[in-house]
């Protein structure tokens, strides 16, 4: 073993979306893509959907900043379930003492409220439907787009929630061919930064069922920004209302979008699984 490494971490999950949390406060270097991949290996590492780093606040009034890394080592722009876990981690560490506080994410500031039932509510920002901001190569903004893919012609809505999302409405989320259609749409060059693909089944005006195939992670048990994306795309079409429960394989999230110009609010759980220490060779020395 060349240079050894030892890292303490917290394992957490939000509605089944699972994370490894590393404390980078004090100016520790960011994890390399090789280290992220080593930690993400479920057999020789820890296993997770995303790695979250707790970082020093960038300015006064913000409790902390956090970074997001996909299991394949790539950086991510937003993660609602991860943000709730960061909020819970900071509360337990005594860093965030109030019932309301601000976090800074790669996509900007997030407002956090600690709810009486133990859940956390986040202000996820305003959805952006402009193709260039998603980014998505389309001449004009539309409520629905169509693309030919290796899996056939797909119809979907598109929006940015700080990261790119495509939302496909399906008659049954359980029977949706997520493993085939998700990668097919992700592979399209019209999404230059890739895209998270949601498969949404409308159950009622205030309830949908959703599965999400994420960039750099594959299908996950929950996706907070994906839940927000599905609700705003469907609400714009009149398929659902402004207050919607989103049922994901790992649990339920509560989404509010009060009006077209409002930010999206997401409420859901955050849970600690275990604390651990990973010891192994420096992955950089193995590549």
Q: Was 148 annotated as part of a binding site?
A: no
Q: Was 190 annotated as part of a binding site?
A: no
Q: Which distant-in-sequence residues (6+ apart) come within 8 Å of 270 by Cβ? A: 12, 13, 14, 81, 84, 85, 87, 88, 119, 120
Q: Was 263 annotated as part of a binding site?
A: no
Question: Please, what's the b/e burial string for 90-109 (b: 16 or more CB within 10 A of its CB; e: otherwise)?
Answer: bbeeeebeeeebbbbbebee
- Which listed residue (79, 85, 114, 228) is catalytic? 79
What is the CA 31 to chain-centroid distance, rounded? Answer: 19
Q: Was 224 annotated as part of a binding site?
A: yes
Q: Was 50 annotated as part of a binding site?
A: yes
What is the CA 238 to chain-centroid distance, rounded? Answer: 25
Active-site residue, 85 included:
no
- Which listed residue (85, 114, 223, 228) is catalytic? 223
3-state percent helix, strand, coil for the chain, nearest multiple of 5: 15, 40, 40
Question: Could you tell me how many residues make up the chain?
Answer: 287
| Angle subtended at Cα 39 by Cα 34 and Cα 40, rounded to the nearest 5 degrees | 95
Active-site residue, 223 included:
yes
Q: Was 169 annotated as part of a binding site?
A: no
Cite the annotated binding site by residue number: 17, 50, 70, 80-81, 163, 196, 214-215, 224-225
Q: Which residues are annotated as a binding site for substrate?
A: 17, 50, 70, 80-81, 163, 196, 214-215, 224-225
Catalytic residue numbers, as ranges: 79, 223
């Amino acid at each position: 073993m060349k240079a050894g490494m030892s890292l303490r971490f917290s394992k957490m999950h939000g509605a089944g979306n699972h994370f490894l949390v590393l404390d980078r406060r004090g100016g520790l270097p960011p994890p390399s893509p090789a280290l992220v991949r080593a930690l993400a290996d479920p057999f020789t590492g820890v296993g997770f959907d995303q790695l979250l780093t707790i970082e020093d606040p960038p300015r006064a009034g913000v409790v902390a900043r956090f970074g997001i890394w996909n299991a394949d080592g790539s950086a991510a722009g937003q993660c609602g379930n991860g943000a709730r876990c960061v909020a819970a981690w900071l509360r337990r560490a005594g860093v965030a003492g109030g019932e309301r506080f601000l976090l800074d994410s790669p996509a900007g500031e997030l407002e956090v409220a600690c709810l009486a039932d133990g859940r956390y509510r986040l202000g996820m920002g305003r959805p952006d439907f402009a193709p260039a901001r998603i980014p998505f190569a389309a001449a004009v903004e539309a409520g629905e787009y169509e693309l030919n893919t290796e899996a056939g012609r797909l119809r979907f809505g598109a929006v940015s929630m700080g990261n790119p999302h495509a939302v496909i409405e399906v008659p049954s989320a359980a029977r949706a061919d997520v493993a085939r259609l998700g990668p097919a749409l992700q592979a399209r060059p019209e999404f230059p930064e890739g895209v998270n693909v949601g498969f949404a089944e409308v159950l009622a005006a205030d309830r949908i069922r959703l599965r999400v195939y994420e960039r750099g992670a594959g299908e996950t048990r929950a996706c907070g920004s994906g839940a927000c994306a599905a609700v705003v795309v469907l609400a714009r079409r009149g398929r659902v209302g402004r207050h919607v429960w989103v049922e994901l394989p790992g649990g339920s999230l509560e989404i509010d979008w009060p009006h077209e110009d409002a930010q999206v609010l997401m409420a859901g759980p955050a849970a600690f699984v275990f604390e651990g220490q990973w010891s192994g060779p420096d992955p950089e020395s193995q590549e």
